[in-house]
Structure 1
Amino acid sequence: MTANPEVVVIGGGPAGASAATVLAQNGHRVRLYEREKFPRFHVGESLMPDTYWVLHRLGMLDKMKSSDFVRKYSVQFVTDTGKESQPFYFFENNPHECSQTWQVVRSEFDHLMLQNAASHGVDVREETRVLDVYFDGERATGLKVQNPDGTTEEVFPKVIIDGSGQSSIISNRLKLRQPDAKLRKASVWSYFEDARREPNHLDEGSTLVLQTKGKKGWFWYIPQHNNIVSVGVVSDLENLFPKGERRSLEEIFAEEVANCPAVARRIEGSKRVTDFYTTKDFSYRSSRVAGPGWVLVGDAFGFLDPIYSSGLQLAFRSGLMAADAVSEGLKNGDTSEAQLGSWGPEFLKGMDRLKRLVYSFYEGFNFGTFVRKFPQHKRHITDLLIGDVFKDSLDEVWEPMEIVQAEIREKELMMANEAAEEKPVALC
Structure 2
Amino acid sequence: MTVLDLPKPDYANNMKLIGHSDQGGRPDGVQLMINKGFAFTGHMFSKGFSVIDVRDPHNPKPVAYVPAPANTWNIHLQTHEDLLLVINAKDMFASAEFQDETEYYKGALGKKVGTAQQTRQRDWTAGMTVYDISNPAEPRKISFMPVEGGGIHRIWYTGGRWAYASVLLDGFTDYIFMTIDMADPANPKEAGRYWLPGMNLAAGEEHNGERRGGLHHAIIHGDTAYGAWRDEGMVVIDVSDRSNPELIVHKNWSPPFGGGTHNCLPLPDRDLLVVVDEAVLDNCEDGIKHIWMFDNRVPSSPVSISTFPIPSEAEYCKKDGHFGPHNIYENRPDGLVSDQMIFSTMQNAGIRVTDISDAYRPKEVAAFVPPKPNRLIDHRPGRPLVIQNCDVYVDKQGLVYANDYNGGLFILEYQG
Which bin holds the TM-score, normalised by the shorter protein?
under 0.3
Q: TM-score, structure 2 length as denominator?
A: 0.26
Higher strand proportion: 2
Structure of higher CA gyration radius? 1
TM-score (norm. length: structure 1): 0.25
